[in-house]
Every structure is written in C-alpha cells, then in structure tokens.
Structure 1
C-alpha cells in the first residue's frame, strides 16, 4: 500500500513558524510559495532554487507549490491578461526545470477565502475558524455597504442580519470587518473598503459562465505546457463554496469540477482535493468525487467541518466532523495503490491552542493545531492500511 506524503505549509522566511519547528513534526515535505514575487511576474530559476536550498538545508524537500497565483486580469480576461498567461507558462517551465511537480492555484476572484470569525471558542477553549452567514450579510450590507448588496438576500436574511449586528459592540464590528477582509494568504495586510469596492466594480459584468469561460481559456493555454513537462496543476475549490460579495463562483460542486475537467481533458488539469472547502457544501459527496475524478487528484488538503445549520459552518477536529474522514482516507489509500503513487497531503488548518495564543501567525496555521491533525491523520492512515492488508 502507498502512504500519503506528509507535508506542512510554510509561508516562507517571514513565517513565525520555522522550518525547524515543522521538521520536528515528522514531515519530510514542505508546501510553500514565493510570496515575495508580485502576482503575475515570472518565477525565475534562481529564486526557485534559492528557496529549495533553504528547505533542503533544514532537512526537507519542497514538494508542492501553493500557490502560483493567477492574476486578476486573467480571471477577467482583460488588461494585460495575455502577457500574464505567457508569464505563467514561463514560470511553469522554470518550476519544471527545478524538479517541482505539483502547482496549486485557485480562480476565486479577489479574495482567496472568507471567514467571519477567526477565533470561535470551542468547549475546551481552543479557537477555530467559523463562517456565519448572518454576520457576513451584516458586514456586506451595513459595514462595507456594497452597492445593491441587499438585492442578493431575502428580506428575512436582511432582518436576521440586522438583529445579529445590533448585538455587536463597536470593537466587535471592527473585528468582523477585519476578519472578512483578511487579504491574500501569505499577506498580513488587510484590504481597505475602498480597495474592495473598486475591485468589485471590475467584476460587475462577469458572471459564473464568463468566469468559467476565462478559466477554461487559461487552462487551454497553460495545461498543455504542464502536461508536456510532467507538471500537475491542482485547482483549489472555492472557499466557501458559494458566492460572496456578489462575486461569481465556479468550483463549488462536483458538476463544476466535471465542466472544467471535460473542457480541458488532460491529466495535468487536476484538482487540489480539499475536504474542508468541498465539505462545507452538504450537497457534495466527497467519496463520489474520489470515485469519479481520482485520476485528476494531485494534492490533498485534509480537514473537517461541522455544519451547525444552513447559515453556519466551522472548522472541527480533523477526524470529528460532518465529513466521513475514515471513509475518505480509505478511498484515497486505494486510489494511491491503483495509481501507484503517493499523493502529497497536508493537514489543513487547525485549532489555536492556548499555548500559542497571542503569537503572530496566520489564521488556521498555528503549529500545535496542525500537528494534532497530522498525528490523527497519520494514525488513521496506518490503521486503515493495516486493515486492508489483513482482509
């Protein structure tokens, strides 16, 4: 039986969690990116090799790029998008020259992910990420004051959000605003409301169909290059898997996956299988996605969520949530055996434990919480492999 290649995400030299810290978790692989390079610019061989050497000197290997960002011009098919696509192709070639084989990316407009609460308190006082639709509507309509935002919600939803907002203090409203507009992963800079509203204006004429068309055009250009060079592109699902701020969403369901894979039917056009993002939508059958698209899964984000109701979901313990992690991991082990491959996996997100509270770090990426998730997933995998070998 093949085992998953255990990795952890590292945000580069400015990450307060060091490579030494991560190495002591027992992983051999690092997931990272060149966050210092502006989106759209070329990743040079020199820059890639410098980062590889830093990781090698720490006793590990850079195994997955997360992410090689897609410029907003490409998503809108406007401005300098053709130049940025050519730059992306050159970056893929340079990445391949350095021996890296998996590139993760997403096609979410403006914001990579959204949560309304970065410190939901669990019964044991650990902190988790949470999304509350009432809180988000209050932010969208009454704090950000997005033009015509009220048209996206029902009268009851607006009323419920007002009731929610009326209970918040001034500081709690400021924190909600900050939480939603966190910015891009790898960045500690929040978006300003003026910047967000200006960016949203750029998407006023782009719906789901148009955004999907732009993604397919992008993939038709870059995926053949990746295929030729033996590089796998792994698109990350939308997080959360529904529209926010009136923006289009095109990778929320298995049907969305099918449309993109059928449009560009080559293996390099693949999926970052994120059980948290896909699992936040109760309509998604996570096991069926493995059955149907297992040959296109190139990277694994394993985490779990609890859907409290139609309006609220939160991160849960990796093995205790609404996603059937035992069944999912067993299917992945069988998949890897059939494909004769060890898929890279990282425990995605984790609780913030009191020992690390107050330290500067990226939300969801405290070391102890991820190490706990990794240990649980490692034990689960070992037990399943033992079971399968003794059937």
Structure 2
C-alpha cells in the first residue's frame, strides 16, 4: 500500500506506486475531473470523509486479502463473498461521517447499472446481518469473562448491534446508500467507553513511532561508523573549534545532505544563518508526542568520560571500544528536554554521579 499526505487533513492511498504517482501529478485540479468529483464536493467538508475508487481494484477480491491476512479462519466465507461484491460492483464509494450530539455515517455506492445496484443492495443487507451475527458471537465470548473490560466491551457491542439493527438501506437507479445512526445518549456512552481505548492506542502508536525514530538514528550512526570507522563525538569541533552537534553531523546519513550543506560549520549553532537550519528540523528528531512546531530535539546521546560519544578532543570511540557489548550499552535515548536540535548539547553522564533523568514523553 502506498500513501501520500498533501496536507494535514488529507490522505491519498493507492494499491500501487504508479497509481499514486498519477494522483499526485494530477493534483487537486485533476481530481475535479473524475466521475466522483461532484459527490466528493458534497461531503469533503464533513467531520470525516473518504472516497474509494473501486474501479481501480476490480478483480482483486477480498477473499485474496483474507488469505493473505489469514483472517478466513475467524470470519465466515459468506462475509468475504458479500464484502467482495460490495467492493467490486461499484465504480466508487463515498463515505461521510457527521458528529454532532449524535453520530451519522452515510455510505454511497455508485454502480454502472440498476442490476449491479440491486446486487450491492443485497450484499449490503447480507454484510449487516452477518456483522450482527459476529457481534452476537462476540457478546457470548465477552460474557464468559466478567472482568470490567469485558463489561465495557459488552456495552460497546450492544450499541454496535443496535446501530446495525436500525441501519437504513436505500437504492435509487444505479446508486445504493446505507445510513447508520448512533443516538445522542448512545453517542455519549460510546465516547466514554472508547476514549480510554483511543488514548491507549494513541500512546502505543507514539511509542512505536518513537522506537522507529531511534532505530533510524541508530542505523545512521552505524553507517557513519562504517564510513569513518568510529562514532561521531556528541560535540564535533569545526573550524576555529566551533562546536557542532552530532545531530547535524549525521544529516547526510539521514538523506538530508542539502540541509547539511546549508549549515555553516565555522559559525555557532545559533548564528543568523544556522538558525534557518534549526527551523527546518527533520521529523526524525521530534518525538511523536511533541508539537509539530517544536524545534527541540527529543533524541540524545550521553556525553562524558567512558561514553561512546564522549570528549570531542579525545580519540573517537568505535565498536571495538564498547567492552560491555552493544546489547548492554545505551546508544541513544528519547527524552523531553528544552534543547534545540542543532545545539551541541546532550545528556551529561558520569560513572561517579547519579544517573541522569531521561524519558518524559510517555506516562
């Protein structure tokens, strides 16, 4: 799957790279000439909206996806047969979500003929019925536990079942619509049930994202080591002994050579020119939980004697100098500190003092 985010509120997702490239090249004006543009213009400003150009995926059934994801064992074949019909018969599908005191989800499928619309209508009814059967099975499983989280799950399943039971399906010529409504009192209850889950999911995603940032930075440092046979010092000394952060030094190994070339190594990190570089901070130095506008680094190494990135005037360290083994030695940490990413400052460490405080981005 390939995706492109042209702005903060838009995602373009495609099953292959050529299709995504065509969408990017066409731009917004290109989208205005598509067969779904009129319908999209009606829903684009909803709380949430999506358009699926299913004509591009025709012939790729959901049963194939099911096999690849190994989901067929837990879901009945009839479910995938119905979903495959919903996915392959329409030319496009438009979904819109409106959130006020209640939730309203409307899904419109546009087909090429009245016969196809009838098939989609029947498949929609089948999916709703099968979904309710799955909810009933889930309710039975949850009821056997009795724990507090199972009680929350039961209440969520009850709301979902009620919503599906009251779903409205309508067909008009080549078009089929389904509308799902969650009543105000149910919306309030659903929010209270799902909010903790949403927060937990968000926190887990942030940790995963942060771990990936650390991994990419570690790879860049490994590549630096492969090139120079040593790690960079936490503080690099440029012309006239001007200090420079290792974060600037490894920019070429992060695919940021142009940004590296803009940094004047004979000037302080906060010079007029280098402050322009500061404002262009690569996202990899920013923790997922930090503000998008922040230019503070969230990733640090340790500086001091007996550290891999220690004294800039001493011989630089390499893998051979890590006598405890790399699996027992910290290379980088994620920490919440008010340190601009280009500033040559990291976390002081001494074998004789107290351990430094790190972390701060996750509860």
Q: How high is the TM-score relative to the length of structure 2?
A: 0.21
Q: How high is the TM-score relative to the length of structure 1?
A: 0.20
Looking at both structures, which has the greater relative contact order when contacts are Cα pairs under 8 Å and sequence separation is at least 6?
Answer: 1
Pair member with larger Rg:
2
